[in-house]
Amino acid sequence: MSSLRSSRMLAVGTGLRVAACPVVMALVLGASYTAAAIVFVIAAGTDWLDGRLARRWGVTTRLGAFLDTTADKLLVATALIALVAVDRASPWVALVIVAREFTILGLRAAVESGGRRFETSMLGKWKATVQFIAITLAIVRPDAVIGGAYLDQWAMVIAAIVTAWSGIDYIVQFSAALRS
């Protein structure tokens, strides 16, 4: 498969995540939770598929990596905003997650403008997976209560902790780029 064709196929996944944002928001705000979860899971799944195919086909680029992570952050932030609006996510948890996402987006830009590569760490990949799972659980809200809170509320707290942890890890790892 040609490099140009491969790159275009990967761009479709990134574009799908961006296009899914208003759809997920509209479905959550309209209380169509099952449909919202299906669209969100499909969109989130394109993140995994894009990364796997890009590495397999050897078509990773800085622009592609930036757009891919930006699409992920936009999907997560949009879903969280909708979930806060329907009282299925804590504004504090949403703040932690969204603040980390924008902070690391800025850090990535600073690091790469200095000529260094900003590779996604394994912790960063786990963070995305935990976020996607927690958001999906919050959208569908299974009737499982543990210690007085829904399962998805616990998942959101775990997502916030892992998200903050990965953000701190990146800041420590690239602190030299922040000083220069």
Give 124-134 pLDDT, tens digit per residue.
999 999 999 99
> Does domain 3-179 bear CATH number 1.20.120.1760?
yes
Enter the tokens of residue 122.
């394994």
Query: In whole angstroms, what is the distance from residue 88 CA to residue 138 CA?
Result: 6
Query: In whole angstroms, what is the distance from residue 53 CA to residue 68 CA?
Result: 13
Give 51-109 pLDDT, tens digit per residue.
777 677 777 777 777 888 899 999 999 999 999 999 999 999 999 999 999 999 999 98
**Per-residue confidence at 7, pLDDT binned at 50, 70, 90?**
low
| pLDDT at residue 163 in the model | 98
Exposed / middle / buried, residue 137 (Cβ in 10 Å: 0-12, 13-18, 19+): buried
Instruction: Give the residue-averaged pLDDT of 30-38.
Output: 98
Q: Would you list the domain boundaries of the chain?
A: 3-179
Query: In whole angstroms, what is the distance from residue 171 CA to residue 124 CA?
Result: 12
